[in-house]
Structure 1
Amino acid sequence: MDNKEFLEKVRKTAEGYFDRGEFFCSEAVVKTINDLLDKPYEETVTKLASGFPVGVGKSGCLCGAVSGGVMALGMVYGRVHGDKMNEKMFPVAASLHDHIKKLYGSTCCRVMTRNFEFASPERKCHCVKITGEVAAFVAEKFLEDEQISKTIKKD
């Protein structure tokens, strides 16, 4: 499987979790990326993302998918107590923010979804698409990192 096909698979996996109602945006991204990395964290890691949907607990602020994406980037570039900050963490997190802002004009949930009724299928479809975009972006960043790409299984 080439990188393009792989990224499409990642996108569809994250979208599927959200579309089927198994997870919301942030949870779908975290679950997808944890699986992509061959589960460096227990399945329960998804719980950490459960407060971020609909712009952090339905407050309409930062897009939940973006929050989940930053958490997923932390799976690789984050640190534990006593470690120095990984020099890649801030720039790659900022690049996710900037990518989504460029595509959607904002990273604020209420701005990104302002043209949709909350409970509408159109809003859900829009958010599903954003979720897939974030998961694919994170996966692509990992593929671009020679150290990380060696550990990713593309099957």
Structure 2
Amino acid sequence: MNQKVTHLNELIEITRDGQHFYQHALEVVKDVELQHLFRDMAQSKTHIIQALSVKVAANQEQPAQGGTATGKLREVYADIKARLGNADAVYIDQLDQTEERILAAFEDALSTAEPDVRALLAIELPKIRACHERIHKLNHGGAKRGD
């Protein structure tokens, strides 16, 4: 597997962490607006994963199918912490950190990627930034749920 595909698969895995975490969180939180937000965010991650997977497949390679250990640990940590306090706030905070991790990974990849991958990342990066901004504002009181 060449380095381009390796980097794309790493981005798929990190993005899938976010997708899985949002799907998990929407099943746990009770607030209907948060459930809708988390569903939207999971769907956004699905679209990004699909776009990256197409690029991997175009290189005659298999797209990554799973997430990362770090992503799973963050989910487990959130579950444990949510039992001790405000579950909604815990999931929002942990999802904000997940979004920061995804954004950093994409920005790092953009700076080192080959031109064809850089073009794809330039298309997907605004979507990543919008997701990050949405959950970050919610986490830090800059927006109401559903914004």
- Shorter-chain TM-score: which interval? 0.3 to 0.5
Decide which structure has greater helix share. 2
* Structure with the greater alpha carbon radius of gyration: 2
